[in-house]
Amino acid sequence: MENLHHIVVVGGGAGGLELVTSLGNKLGKKNKARISLVDAGLTHVWKPLLHEVASGSLDASANEINYRAHARKHHYEFQLGRMNGLDRAAKEIIIAPFLDEEGHEVVPERRIQYDTLVIAVGSTANDFGTPGAQEHCLFLDSLRQARRFHNLMLNAFLRKNHEANQGKPHTLNISIIGAGATGVELAAELRLASRELPVYGMNHLQSSDVSISVIEAADRILPALPGRLSAAATRELERQKVKVLTGQPVSEVRENSLVMKDGTELPSEMTIWAAGIKAPPFLAELGGLETNRSNQLLVKQTLETTRDTDIFAFGDCAACPQPDSDHPVPPRAQAAHQQADALFKTLCNRLEGKDPVAFVYNDHGSLINFSRYTTVGNLMGNLSGRSMYIEGKVARLFYVSLYRMHQVALHGFVRTGIIWLMDKISRAMHPRLKLH
């Protein structure tokens, strides 16, 4: 093992986990290379599902993957810890001390040597320095945050249900800052929760008592997507009694309200920040590697970092150029999936002394899911130069298939089929919402 080429992947998100799975099955299994995954958590949940975990429509425990068990099955090693430094001269990454919930050190700071390093640490919310955002907003960057949001939401509903029973004012104002895909989909999931909870005993609180607002600084929601998709999404949100406020930047977040740029103050007992992303701040000071203003590592089209050919980066934490475009590859799940495929080929080539593979992004379109109500989207994107608008059951089928494709990459077709069947049985046996 000591003489094997050591490939270290930092970050077990969608792209990172797919990459180590492929490398483990191809190289680790045949002892052609040593493959290691480093992540700060013990389990993986597909990030596009976090808003469903937050609202309670998805039970994370039934959809998370344990890294240790997965590593054993797919011939790679797992190291628990958070990367916080890089020694490029010694070719070592520095892992911060691991602390338990009481702050006691379990494992001290340590170093892991690499021959090839891949950084796939994803992104976090970008609050753009808005006063009060860090103190008073909820975020959905991690499974821990999604679970915390879920508990707070259930407590808020319980409190308002009691106030309604006492004849007191009981309107619950929920605001979502940012109307990208996450913000729009979360709004629909929260509306579903407000309609489902009375079925489970909270019968004094009506769905109409829960005011949900989506606030977007741009002049329309889903500003990065085609106008027709944005218009359809707006109509669906309004049909679900979700307030859509556009062209209104938030200038300050307070404990129970929002202050808009024009000075208007809106009540908000629960505020979720879903506007914009940035790469983790530690990347900006990581071994002298080149970054942009969003802390993303600058990479070549081969996904090699611009200052070190032994270090690669991909996914949300990397700014990868696109040929014939001034814009980098967008931070989307389908981009990370495609980059993982390209990087797998590059790393296999690297062991054989062959050239890296240049990554070319193929936009397969966008899908927005409005919980159990409907799904809208456009398919094909720049593959044909035109897009095809779809909605309803057909769009929902394509939306679900995205997650199943991720599962196939991690488990194979047979195991994914078994997981799909178990999901069907679980949905039939358990409440439609997670109630704890």
| C-beta contacts of 131-134 below 8 A and 24+ residues apart | 131/251, 131/252, 131/253, 132/252, 132/253, 132/254, 133/253, 133/273
- Determine, yes or no, domain membership for 230: yes
Helix (H) or strand (E) holding 258: strand 257-260
pLDDT of residue 383: 43
pLDDT of residue 257: 96
Statement to judge: residues 346 and 378 lie in one domain: no
Q: Which residues of 69-99 are buried (b: 16+ CB within 10 A; e: fewer)?
A: ebbeebbbbbbbbbbbebebeebbbbbbeee
- Determine, yes or no, domain membership for 422: yes
- Determine, yes or no, domain membership for 44: yes
Q: Rounded to an integer, what distance in angstroms lies between the CA atom of residue 388 and that of residue 378?
A: 5
pLDDT of residue 382: 46
pLDDT digits (tens, 9 = 90+) for 117-168: 999 999 999 999 999 999 999 999 999 999 999 999 999 999 999 999 999 9
Decide: 157 and 205 in contact? Cβ < 8 Å.
yes
pLDDT of residue 359: 96
Statement to judge: residues 196 and 231 lie in one domain: yes
Helix (H, G, I), strand (E, B) or coil at 422: helix
Statement to judge: residues 166 and 265 lie in one domain: yes
Backbone angles phi, psi at 124, to 5 degrees: -130, 165
Q: Rounded to an integer, what distance in angstroms lies between the CA atom of residue 425 and that of residue 339?
A: 34
Q: Rounded to an integer, what distance in angstroms lies between the CA atom of residue 376 and that of residue 389?
A: 8
- Determine, yes or no, domain membership for 128: no
CATH at residue 225: 3.50.50.60
Residues with Cβ within 8 Å of 317's Cβ and at least 6 positions away in sequence, in order, are 11, 119, 120, 121, 122, 123, 279, 280, 283, 295, 296, 297
Statement to judge: residues 250 and 333 lie in one domain: no
- Determine, yes or no, domain membership for 186: yes
pLDDT of residue 384: 46
Select from 226, 247, 275 the last residue of a domain.
Answer: 275
Statement to judge: residues 241 and 211 lie in one domain: yes
- Determine, yes or no, domain membership for 99: yes
Statement to judge: residues 144 and 270 lie in one domain: yes
Decide: 145 and 135 in contact? Cβ < 8 Å.
no
- Determine, yes or no, domain membership for 435: no
Statement to judge: residues 227 and 271 lie in one domain: yes
Statement to judge: residues 315 and 190 lie in one domain: no
Torsion 177-179-181-183 (CA) sign: positive
Can you give the pTM of this predicted structure?
0.90
From residue 257, how far is each of 129, 170, 232, 263 by CA, in Å?
17, 16, 29, 12
Statement to judge: residues 199 and 170 lie in one domain: yes
pLDDT digits (tens, 9 = 90+) for 301-357: 999 999 999 999 999 999 999 888 888 999 888 999 999 999 999 999 999 999 999
Statement to judge: residues 145 and 266 lie in one domain: yes
Degrees, nearest 5: CA angle 141-230-194: 55
pLDDT of residue 182: 92
pLDDT of residue 433: 66
- Determine, yes or no, domain membership for 299: yes
The amino acid present at 167, given as its one-letter code, is G
Q: Rounded to an integer, what distance in angstroms lies between the CA atom of residue 329 and that of residue 325?
A: 9
Total of domains in the chain: 3
Select from 328, 351, 374 the last residue of a domain.
Answer: 351
From residue 81, how far is each of 40, 109, 323 by CA, in Å?
4, 9, 36
Decide: 316 and 180 in contact? Cβ < 8 Å.
no
Statement to judge: residues 251 and 291 lie in one domain: no
Helix (H, G, I), strand (E, B) or coil at 279: coil
Statement to judge: residues 95 and 199 lie in one domain: no
Degrees, nearest 5: CA angle 6-309-38: 40
- Report, as ranges of residue numbers, the positions in the chain whose pLDDT lies below 50: 381-384
Q: Could you tell me how many residues make up the chain?
A: 436
Q: Rounded to an integer, what distance in angstroms lies between the CA atom of residue 30 and that of residue 94?
A: 28
Q: Rounded to an integer, what distance in angstroms lies between the CA atom of residue 424 and that of residue 387?
A: 32
Select from 275, 304, 328 the last residue of a domain.
Answer: 275
Which residues are bridge partners to 110 per DSSP? Answer: 95
Domain span at residue 246 reads: 133-275
What's the longest Cα–Cα distance across the chain?
A: 75
